[in-house]
Amino acid sequence: MESFLFYGDYAKAIATDNLAQIIGNNSSILDEIQSAAVEECMSYLRQKYDVTEAFRAITMHDKSKTYQAGQTVYLDAPLYDQTKKYAIGVYAVSTGNVYKCKVAITDAELFNVGHWDLIGAQYAKYCAKYPNDLFDYQKQYTIGDAVFYNNKIYICVRSSSIMDHQSRLEVNISGFDNIINQFPETGKQWDNGTDYSVPTGTEITDATKWSLGDGRGQKLLQVCIDVALYHAHARISPKNIPDLRTSRYSGVAEDRISDKSHVIYPTYSALGWLQAASNGEITPDIPALQPKQGRRIRFGGNQKMINQY
């Protein structure tokens, strides 16, 4: 089951054996817990942030598939089996690393590193590179500029419009919002766009298409893991959840502020961080929602007048 989280994400937070014990070695239970944890995190953030982009599913790399720019994948393969034969190009895991067979193994043998190319560490993450900068409705563009938006590359054919002070007064928008752009999928500022994705057959080692590293927001990932582990423990014994998991999820009791209507959690906890991100108290590394096409965000008081006598 594809999810924002995967099994390899938990290594820094909990020992593999402990995690297996908590979920009873049942991967379907972990899938359900992860799905619930992701939905809980999204419920705090979807009003201000692009949760579709922020919570993209991570999948195991498969070069027979195409991938969208910005998508994160991880390396994995079946464990090497010394009783089996291997054809050139087949992947296998040995001693925590993923290898690609470079010499056909026609007779079963112990793992021979000379017959394999090292690809990378098991569960290593790679992110599909963006071909161009992402479109930003607040940025000034000139003819010929290229942007990436909704899986397409667009070329600017009409420069951004700049509103003068009097024009801003007439439409009552913020003085900082003086750049007018049309979204690439509408209007006449951009060409029709060219579809882009990482094509099938692309090796994970192709540095023009992939970069080693995790494209997911790391703090968001940590928070989501804390939420998932809390619920994993709650599944076993709701009244006997380890103090560490409770603290990471909702903070210690004396740090919570509560009244009749709601509870404010400390920001060091997962729920506290989600609350702070939702309320604008912190600025997380999460793509914000852009205004609806054809609209602008209004804020602040009246426009400052330029007095003339």
Complete DSSP assignment for the chain: --BS--GGGGGGTS-HHHHHHHTTT-HHHHHHHHHHHHHHHHHHHTTTB-HHHHTPPBEE--TTS-B-TT-EEE---PBP-TTS-B-TT-EEEETTEEEEE-S-B-S--S--GGGEEEEEETT-EEEEPPSSPBP-TTS---TT-EEEETTEEEEBSSPPEE--HHHHHHHT--TT--EE---TTSSSSB---EE--BPTT--TT-TTTEEES--S-HHHHHHHHHHHHHHHHHHH-TT---HHHHHHHH--GGG-EE-SS-EEPPTTSHHHHHHHHHHTSS--SSPBPPPPTT-----SSSPPP----
- Could you tell me the residue ranges of all domains in the chain? 1-58+216-291, 77-122, 146-195
Report the pLDDT value the prediction gives residue 298, as an integer from 0 to 100: 41
Q: Does domain 77-122 have CATH number 2.40.128?
A: no
pLDDT at 57: 94
Report mean pLDDT in 10-residue bins for the chain, 309 residues.
Answer: 89 88 88 95 94 93 95 96 96 97 96 97 96 92 95 95 65 59 88 96 95 94 96 89 95 90 93 95 87 46 50
Instruction: Please tell me the predicted confidence (pLDDT) of residue 295.
Output: 40
Model's pTM, two decimal places? 0.79
Q: For residue 299, what pLDDT is reported?
A: 42
Q: What is the pLDDT of residue 293?
A: 43
pLDDT of residue 2: 84
pLDDT for res 162: 82
Q: What does the pLDDT read at residue 54?
A: 93
pLDDT confidence of residue 238: 83
